[in-house]
Amino acid sequence: MSNALLVAGTTSDAGKSVVTAGICRWLARQGVHVAPFKAQNMSLNSFVTADGAEIGRAQAMQAQAARVEPEAAMNPVLLKPGADGRSQVVLLGRPVAEVGALDYRERKPLLLERALECLADLRRRYDVVVCEGAGSPAEINLRDRDIANMGLATAAALPVVVVGDIDRGGVFAAMYGTLALLSAEDQRHVAGWFVNKFRGDARLLAPGLEMLRELTGRPVLGTLPMLPDLWLDAEDSLDLSTVVDRTAGRGPLGADVLRVAVLRFPRLSNFTDLDALAQEPGVLVRWATRPEELADADLVVLPGTRATVSDLAWLRERGLEQALKARAAAGLPVLGVCGGYQMLARTIVDEVESKAGAVDGLGLLPTHVRFGVEKVLGRPVGEAYGQRVEGYEIHHGVVAVEGGTPFLDGCRVGAVWGTTWHGALENDGFRRALLRDVAALAGRAFVPAPDVSFAEAREARLDRLGELIEEHADTDALWKLIEGGVPAAGSLPFLPPGAPGACPADLDGRATPGIPPGRTPGSPKYVQYEDDPAARPAGRPTPRADPPRPTGQAPKGES
C-alpha cells in the first residue's frame, strides 16, 4: 500500500502535530477518508475514546481534523512520565507497565510490531493515513529501537517530510544536519521539507530554500506562516505558553475582567482543560508557581497531574498551601480538576503511583482518596447548574465524598469545587454558569459572553490549518508522495556522512566511501564530476547541468 505519509520534525515542537492535523483537514475537506496515526507518543495530555481507550490528546485533535472518531489504533503506544523517572506504558489504550528508559528499550521490538499492525489496519480501512513522528528522526543513539520515526518509515515503506521551526533560528542547519545523520536507507525515505512558523518577507527566504534544495536534493514542499493564536491541544510543556497567558482577543462584556491563576505543577497533565477558559472574552488566564501570584486571582485552578502526591509536596514547598487555605477561608474560588481535586481531600492513600502510603491532603473538601491499581477511564455525562455536561476521566485515585454539595462526580464546599472530569469546561452553558458564580463570589462585575462556542472555535482553527496546507504547500507534490510512496532507489542523493558507524552508501545500496561532506549530486561543490564525466565513479547518477526547479510552491504572500 502507498496511501500513507510520515510527518517528522527536526525537533520537538517544530510543528509536526499541526502539520499533520492540517494535512488531515485539507484531505477531509476534499472528501478523502483520512486518519491520523502516531506510533509512540510521550505526553501527559491524553483523551478517552468512545470505547474507553486512552490515547494522546493530539491524536484525538487530529482525528477531529480528519472528521473521524478517534480510536486506540491511532496512537497504539502512549508514554506518560511520572515523578520517579519512570513512565506508564499505555498500549492500545490500556496501561500495561511502569518502566524506566532502559527497560522500555527492551520492549520496543514488540511495540513496533503492534504499531505496524495498527498502521496496516488503518491503511486498509482509510483512503489515506497521515502519520506523525516523535522528537527528531536523527536521534542517532535511539535509532536501533526507533518505532516512531525512521524505524516506522522503513518498516512500513512510508515517504517522509520533515518540518523545521524557522522561528527558533537555524532551520537550514537543522534540516541539513537531520538528513546528514541518517543512514542511506533512511535518507531514501526523506522526500521534502516544510518550513514552519515563518514571518517576514518571503522574498528574503527564497534563496535559502533554493540552496537547501541544491544541497540536499529535496524540495521545500511548503513555507507555512506563523499563526500566533493557534492553541490546538498542546502535547507537552514546550507548548505551555500557547495554552495560557493569552486572551480571546475581545474585551469583557461587563465592567471587570476575571483573572484565573493556574498552578503549574511539575507533572501537569491535561492542561488542555484550560483552553476553553482562555477563549472567553474578558477572562485572563496565567500560570502561577508562587503564593504572591494568587493574590489578585478571582479563581485559582489546581489542574490535573500525573504525580498527585509528588506535586502536592511541590505545592507545599513553595508556600502555596497556606495561600490556598486563606483563599478558601475568605470565600474566594478554588477549582480542582482530577489530580488537583485529589489534593483538596483530607487524606490520600497511594500505594500505586507514588507508593507514599497515607498522606495528608489540603483538607479543603470532605473527601478521601485511595489509589487503585486499575485506571479509571470513561466518558461520563451529567448535569451541573442545570446544564448538561460531558467530560472524560483518566485517573487511578478513587475519591470518596463524605459531604458538601454534589458537583458533577465531585463536590463543592463554599467557594471550593472539585471534580475528576476533564473537558467539562468545554461545555458552553456549564462554563458560563460557573464563571458567573465565580464572578459573584469574587465580587467582580464580569459577564460571560453569550455567543462563545468552544466547539465552533476549535472547528474554525482546524479549518485554518487545512487552509494553511492548501494555500502554502505544494499539494500536488504531497499527493504524489501519498500515492507513489517512497521515492525510487537512486532518485534522491545521499548526503554524507550518514549515520555514525555506517558505511556511506548510495540510495541504490552501493558503498561510496571517501566522498567528502558536501560533494553530493546537485550540490554546488560537486563540480569535478560535472566538468569531467570520465572522473565520475561507475554507477553514480549523472548530475543535471541545469538542476530542476524545486517542486514546492513558492510561499503565497507574506506574513
Helices of type H across 399-474? 428-442, 454-472
Q: Which of 187, 181, 192 is CA-nearest to residue 223? A: 192
Phi, psi of 214 (to 5 degrees): -65, -40
Tell me the residue type at 121.
D
| Residue 338 bears catalytic tag | yes
Residue 332's φ and ψ, nearest 5 degrees, are -100, 140
Read out DSSP for 413-425? ETTEEEE--BSGG
Active-site residue among 189, 396, 422, 472?
422
Residue 70 and residue 63: Cα distance in Å, rounded?
Answer: 5
Phi, psi angle pair for 161, to nearest 5°: -115, 145
Pick the catalytic residue from 338, 396, 411, 472.
Answer: 338
Give the cell for residue 110: 514488540
**In whole angstroms, what is the distance from residue 105 CA to residue 142 CA?**
9
Bridge-based pairing of strands 410-413 and 405-407 is antiparallel
How many secondary structure helices (H) and strands (E) does the chain include? 15, 27
- CA-closest candidate to residue 113, choices 70, 162, 151, 139: 151
Q: Are 288 and 261 in contact, with CB atoms under 8 Å apart? A: yes
Instruction: Determine contact, residues 277/467, Cβ cutoff 8 Å.
Output: no
Buried-state track 507-539, b at ≥16 Cβ within 10 A, e below 16: beeeeeeebeeeebbbbeebeebeeeeeeeeee
How far is it, in rounded angstroms, from Cα 369 to Cα 21? 38
d(CA 213, CA 272): 38
Q: What are phi and psi of 303, to 5 degrees?
A: -80, -170
Return the number of other C-beta atoms located less than 10 Å from residue 88's C-beta.
19
> φ and ψ at 49, to 5 degrees?
-75, 170
Would you call 395 a catalytic residue per the annotation? Answer: no
Residues identified as active-site: 338, 422
